[in-house]
Amino acid sequence: MASTVTFDELCEGARNFAHLALGAHAEGQMDVFLLEAGVSVERLAKAVLVRVHPTLLSEVKGNDDMLLHLAGATPIPPRRLHTIGAGTAIARLRKMGVLPRSEELDGLIELRNGVAHLGASTGDDYLGIFVDTICLLLDHLDHDRTEFWGTWSELAQVTLDNRFDLVQKAVRLRVSQGRFRLEARFGALPEGTVESIAKAIGEAGLVITDFNRTRARFRMLTRCPACGAEAAALLLSAEPQTTLLYEMELTTEGLQCGLCGFHLTGEEEVTAAGLSPTMRCKVEDLTGTLDDDPLAAGELFTVLNSGGLKWFDESF
């Protein structure tokens, strides 16, 4: 009698939970990511053990009903289908030379089991070890990685790629996640929906968002590096000494897409995304509106047209 705990069921479960985990990570639901990632690792670890022999899923202590069933000696499974936990499965795979010892993997399983407190870590800390462990197990099973990861194949590949530094890798991961979110949110809607929404939320021109004596901040619409929609707000700033009379040299501080949630913060991430860290805009491109204070914006607009931000100290 074959066991009701089958290799194919365990592999399929591992794949489903892996996709749920990465989807949760993309949405910023880190507690859900840790839970689903831990279950995925456990399922695939058990699949490797089942491939050797189903009895490897049984506990050594306790009664032997499960052991007998997994060995095919009894046709009816026990009333409670209880197998080893993730920690024991991983420990057995380490003894078999399938998995290396890893404090990060142990931490992931502890968080999944609720042993450790989430406050000390984030899901980002465990994304790499999750993907790496799954890929090690897939390779041991000679199972195609692309087939397992499906739409998440690019993200898995980026996670394991050592050619990029931490900033480049973080930006590339966010690009993959942004594309996933766009598809999850708008994939089932009629063609042209994304473009219509992008036009509705977009705001043409160079918009003043804040200013004081030392710095002015702006935003302008640009194409999102992740989803490709013309719905990303490019966040810019200027200092008095870098501003010209008729042109302003602006520093790119970040980006936020209103459709897919992709974001960039700081010069390093901006450069890693392929955007220029500085750009020049004409004074006449200013809209003359400020998010919270249109009257102040009018004053700033006048100041800029009168000689640039270098007039701040004299005028305010």
pLDDT attached to residue 316: 35
Cβ density class 244-264: b for 16+ within 10 Å, e for less:
eeeebebbbbbbbbbbbbbbb
The three-state DSSP-derived secondary structure of the chain is: CCCCCCHHHHHHHHHHHHHHHHHHHHCCCHHHHHHHHHHHHHHHHHHHHHHHCHHHHCCCCCCCHHHHHHCCCCCCCCCCCCCCCHHHHHHHHHHCCCCCCCHHHHHHHHHHCCCCCHHHCCCHHHHHHHHHHHHHHHHHHCCCHHHHHHHHHHHHHHHHCCCCCHHHHHHHHHHHHHHHHHHHHHCCCCCCHHHHHHHHHCCCCEEEEEECCCCEEEEEEECCCCCCCCCEEEEEEECHHHECCCEEEEEEEEEEECCCCCEEEHHHHHHHCCCCCEEEEEHHHEEEEECCCHHHHHHHHHHHHHHCHHHHHHHC
Lowest mean pLDDT among 7-16, 59-68, 77-86, 245-254: 59-68
Domain boundaries, the chain: 7-143, 193-289
Q: Is the pLDDT of residue 277 over 80?
A: yes
Percent share of the chain, pLDDT over 70: 76
Q: Is the pLDDT of residue 244 over 90?
A: no
- Contact predicate 270/255, CB 8 Å: yes
Q: Is the pLDDT of residue 302 over 60?
A: no
For residue range 204-232, what is the model confidence (pLDDT) as tens digits?
Answer: 778 888 777 677 888 888 999 998 888 89
Which of 45-59, 94-108, 181-195, 205-219 has the largest mean confidence? 94-108
Q: Closest Cα partner for 84 from 36, 41, 46?
A: 46
For residue range 79-91, what is the model confidence (pLDDT) as tens digits?
Answer: 666 778 899 999 9
> What is the rounded average pLDDT of the residues 152-171?
89
Tell me: domain 7-143, CATH 1.10.287, correct? no
Cα distance between residue 26 and residue 22, in whole Å: 6
> What is the rounded average pLDDT of the residues 26-50?
93
pLDDT attached to residue 309: 45
pLDDT attached to residue 206: 83
pLDDT bracket for residue 308 (50, 70, 90): very low
pLDDT attached to residue 117: 54
pTM of the model: 0.76
Q: Closest Cα partner for 158 from 226, 92, 255, 112?
A: 226
pLDDT attached to residue 271: 93
pLDDT attached to residue 146: 96
CB neighbours of 113 closer than 8 A, spacing ≥ 6?
Answer: 38, 85, 86, 87
Q: Is the pLDDT of residue 60 over 70?
A: no
Q: Is the pLDDT of residue 68 over 90?
A: no
For residue range 3-34, what is the model confidence (pLDDT) as tens digits?
Answer: 557 899 999 999 999 999 999 999 888 889 99
For residue range 100-159, what is the model confidence (pLDDT) as tens digits?
Answer: 999 999 999 988 877 555 554 566 789 999 999 999 999 999 999 999 999 999 999 999
CA atoms within 13 A on the CB side of 102: 21
Percent share of the chain, pLDDT over 90: 41
- Contact predicate 249/280, CB 8 Å: yes
Tracing tokens 């008095």 back to the chain, one arrives at 240
Q: Closest Cα partner for 219 from 255, 259, 195, 263?
A: 255
Residue 277 CA from chain centroid, whole number: 23
Q: Closest Cα partner for 47 from 19, 15, 69?
A: 15
